[in-house]
Amino acid sequence: MRRIRLRLREHPLPGGQPVAFGIGLAIALFVGTLLLLGAGHDPLKIYSRMFDASLGGPDAWSITLNRAIPLGLAGLAVAVAGSMGLWNIGAEGQIIAGAIAASWVARIGGSWPGLLLILMMLVAAVAGGALLALGPAMARAKLGVNEIITTLMLNEVALRLVQWLIHGPWKDPDSFNFPLAPMLPDQARLPTLFGRAHFGLLIAAAVIIVISVAVRYTAWGYELRIAGSSEATARYSGISLPKKVLAVLVLSGAIAGLAGGVELTGTTDRLTESISNGFGFAGIIVAALALMRPSGVAAVAILFGAVQIGGQSIQTLGVSSSVSTILQAFILFGAIGAGVFSRYAIALEKDALRTTEEVQS
Amino acid sequence: MTQPSSLEKKEPLSVELTEVWKRFPGVVANAGVELSIQRGSIHALLGENGAGKSTLMNILAGVYRPDSGQLKLHGRSHQFRNPSDALSAGVGMVHQEFRLIPSFSVAENVVLGSAPSLIKTGQVEQRVAEMAAKFGLQIDPSQPLWQLSMGERQKVEILKVLWRDAQVLILDEPTTVLTPSEVDDLGEILRRMADDGRSIIFISHKLHEIAGICDHATVLRQGKTVANSLPVADTSQDELARLMVGASPTISTQQSAAVIGKPLLELKNLSAQGDRGMNAFSGINFDIKSGEIVGIAGVAGNGQRELADVIAGLRPSISGEIIMDGADITTKSPNHRFQSGLAYIPEDRLGVGLAPRLSITDNAILRVYRHQRKGPFILGQKALSYCADIIERFGVKATDVNGPIAALSGGNLQRLLVGRELDGKPSVVIASQPTRGLDVQGVKAIQELLINQRDSGAAVMMISEDLDELLAISDRLLVMEGGVLRGEFDPRSASRQEVGMAMLSDAQVRATP
């Protein structure tokens, strides 16, 4: 019997990511085929519908990108904290906080010119998300309180707050008693790029690039990565951890808040109970699949968006939502999870323990 | 299985290893080792660091496969493919690092992995208690593990192996974590197990313990057996020491080429707490002068690690002063200390000195990135050339500087770390266990780097558990025990015994908590 284990490659496999992606996707689609056959569907028909709906043309792409915007920003929020080994599980709540703050600006600045209003709304969204993350950040930095628990719990607080607002003081009198806030003023909506893709795409891309560059190439990002790899090493080299923890968690909250603001002004156009739509939790998956690297978030978010849109589209063909969800999970896991193999080699035990001849040669 | 007729009427040996070879890239760890162990005996396996003891025991325990050679247990040939093969054949190993779960009870830890399918806590605890009592292990099976001392945890590890009914027990340097009275206890426990018909292989560097505990001794040197199954009672400790170190028992001491100058590091009445809130060390007074290596000897866990951390600024002191080159740095930050010329080679290389998930380049620039940047950006080209420079000058074998540091071997990790620390021409070097776990070439390379540093006028403090090493390269030797300094020796005239006695002085007082 040979034992199979993963061994860290000294060099990442050249071209490994795309190859692994392809192989993983193929395996996922094959397994998915079995699932669909088992559920009594025609796999070819299902797959082609999924593709058409998500990537099959400009319109499909615009829907996918529309979904990728909040996913990418939420993923970035989680990944930037993750670069330092911190877990922001509160992006869901921070998205809501950002959307609430932006809505508040829209309520008081309804007569402002569009550019100013949108700008102020996004600034408020950033501040709202940051504010919700501030408590957990301070507790973690000063007292060492586990940020996973505090950020997670604040999700509930944010959710209750938005529910109270749209059932109560901010309820739209013209909404036929639905719990919805009023529509945003027209000038508060982000311009459309094409189809459903709006200007938020450029905002998200810019933020992802800036943060990726900062984490990869600046001294600040370097210190972040050192601390993420080993806190003891960070202390050893004189990096002040509490300050960094505070800054990174607040930044993470701010990015998630921005996601809420962009989603509000770009897609929903009004504050609703489901403004965050699970993007905050999906962001955790996006970040994890991007291996906590901010630079990997964009590609993962687009794929994630495509899979979600494709998965929803096949429900009109009679595929149950649970089968669709399982299929989505296969594809994501297969396509992105396989990327691990470009950095890790599969080694049989025989390789790990070399024979005498191999060493001598 | 029938033995070919032999002159001896004795039962087959419980362990018989013949002509065992094992090579690793660049090192021959075992070059035809022989080992034979009688049933019911406590057998010492002696040898200096790198003599091949650990490799041999890992082969016996199924962790490594030998390149060639034969392994017999009780007369039967075996080929182990993995540790569980070895365990089911009756070979169990108690490793130096414990593999226990703090939140589990003693009994749960003991049966973990081999528990009866339906666990009744009471029954399991009772059986563990019976087994412990049989061998004189005083331990409460229901106690949670985190409440136990290191000595008690070791008993749990021993119970784990006994629970799996091992007939051959390998204990890898079991006494390093023990107080002297616990060492005595361990000796009694091992004797009971031997009387029960089991064979114990006892790995140690400490000759006085061997004399007190073991029946036979096998000595390895440079991967070969130089003495097979010597009766310990008839062999003097000097003889064993001579066998371990080789033909010339006098260790060539490197004389300082540097003129000893003014004190560069002064510790005045320094005290600090350990991780558990107890005093790790107190009232430490000494200085290190330009051009000297001061060795800190002592059994692990007597405050040496904490002392190094306090000097480097990673642990606060509770009283006293640290003066570096005339300036008080007691409350200064780790980075300030480094910038003023204090280099620190920590005991935990990958985890304190190096960041395991980052690249070789990222790790190389840890001390200089603050100065190699333009605005907020780190200069990538400068980082690469700096890394290449360190790699070349300090002989780090690395193929891809953007690859993960964790892929480097132990010796190369340490060369990179030491190189990085010494690159800034520090005036004070604190080195904690800098050669531990390295191969012969690695040890030599690191020692030479430290000696060169001394010769160019630095003050070097070296903590090591390897007394020979300290005697060989120190200009002054201090012994730390129970958190205080127990004596100062001149390595050129001090004998191992004198130093060894100081390392264990006052031990009985400390052993009773």
Segment B346-400, tens digit of pLDDT? 998 888 999 998 999 999 999 999 999 898 999 999 999 999 999 999 988 887 8
Q: Is the pLDDT of residue A197 over 80?
A: yes
Which domains, and CATH codes, for chain B?
15-245 (3.40.50.300), 263-354+426-511 (3.40.50.300)
Q: Is the pLDDT of residue B26 over 50?
A: yes
- A176 CA: distance to closest CA in chain B (Å): 54
Q: Is the pLDDT of residue A360 over 50?
A: no
Would you call B377 and A219 a contact, using CB atoms and an 8 Å cutoff?
A: yes
Q: Is the pLDDT of residue A2 over 60?
A: no
Q: Say if the ipTM goes beyond 0.85.
A: no
Q: Is the pLDDT of residue B306 over 80?
A: yes
Residues of A in contact with B348 (CB under 8 A): 232
Please indicate if any CB of chain A lies within 8 Å of the CB of B333. Answer: yes
Would you call A225 and B338 a contact, using CB atoms and an 8 Å cutoff?
A: no
Would you call A236 and B346 a contact, using CB atoms and an 8 Å cutoff?
A: yes
Q: Which pLDDT score is estimated for B106?
A: 92
- Packing angle of the helix pair A58-82, A91-108 (nearest 10 deg): 110
pLDDT tens column, B60-117: 999 889 999 999 999 899 999 888 889 889 999 988 778 889 889 999 899 887 766 6
Neighbours of A342 (CB within 10 A): 18
Q: Which residue of A has its CA nearest to B417?
A: A233
Would you call A222 and B344 a contact, using CB atoms and an 8 Å cutoff?
A: no
CA gap B38, B198 in Å, rounded: 9
Q: Is the pLDDT of residue A13 over 80?
A: no
Which residue spans within A156-257 are E strands per DSSP? 180-183, 192-194, 197-198
User: Highest-confidence range of A92-96, A112-116, A295-299, B411-415, by mean pLDDT?
Assistant: A92-96
Residues of A in contact with B68 (CB under 8 A): 356
Q: Across the strands, what pairs with A348? A: A4
**Position A353 confidence tier, pLDDT thresholds 50, 70, 90:** very low
Nearest to A238 among B335, B377, B406 (CB): B335
A216: tokens are 């990869």
Ramachandran category for residue B38: left, alpha or beta (phi over 0 → left; psi -120 to 50 → alpha): beta
**Position A30 confidence tier, pLDDT thresholds 50, 70, 90:** very high
Q: Is the pLDDT of residue B1 over 70?
A: no
CA gap B123, A282 in Å, rounded: 47
CA gap B17, A271 in Å, rounded: 76
Q: Which pLDDT score is estimated for A354?
A: 39
Average pLDDT of span B119-143: 87
Least reliable range by pLDDT among A309-318, B171-180, B184-193: B171-180
Q: Is the pLDDT of residue B452 over 50?
A: yes
Q: Which pLDDT score is estimated for A252?
A: 98
Q: Residue B315's closest CA among B350, B268, B352, B286?
A: B352
Residues of B in contact with A350 (CB under 8 A): none
User: Highest-confidence range of B126-130, B284-288, B395-399, by mean pLDDT?
Assistant: B284-288
> Average per-residue pLDDT in chain B?
85
% of chain A beyond a pLDDT of 70: 91
Q: Which residue of B has its CA nearest to A220?
A: B376
Average pLDDT of span A118-136: 97
Neighbours of A313 (CB within 10 A): 21
Residues of A in contact with B344 (CB under 8 A): 236
More confident residue, B417 or B257: B417
Q: Which pLDDT score is estimated for B277?
A: 67
Q: Which residues of B314-337 are buried (b: 16+ CB within 10 A; e: fewer)?
A: bbebeebebbbbeeebbebebbeb
SS3 B343: strand
More confident residue, B275 or A227: A227
Q: Which pLDDT score is estimated for A11?
A: 66
User: Highest-confidence range of A208-217, B11-20, B411-420, by mean pLDDT?
Assistant: A208-217
- B347 neighbors B305 (Cβ within 8 angstroms): yes
Q: Which pLDDT score is estimated for B244?
A: 75
Nearest to A356 among B68, B373, B403 (CB): B68
Q: Which residues of B37-70 are buried (b: 16+ CB within 10 A; e: fewer)?
A: bbbbbbbbbbbbbbbbbbbbbbbbbbbbbbbebe
Residues of A in contact with B364 (CB under 8 A): none
- A194 CA: distance to closest CA in chain B (Å): 36
Q: Is the pLDDT of residue B507 over 70?
A: no
**Position A361 confidence tier, pLDDT thresholds 50, 70, 90:** very low
Output the furthest CA–CA distance in chain B (Å, rounded).
Answer: 83
- B427 neighbors B339 (Cβ within 8 angstroms): no
3-state DSSP helix/strand/coil percent for chain A, to nearest 5? 70, 5, 20
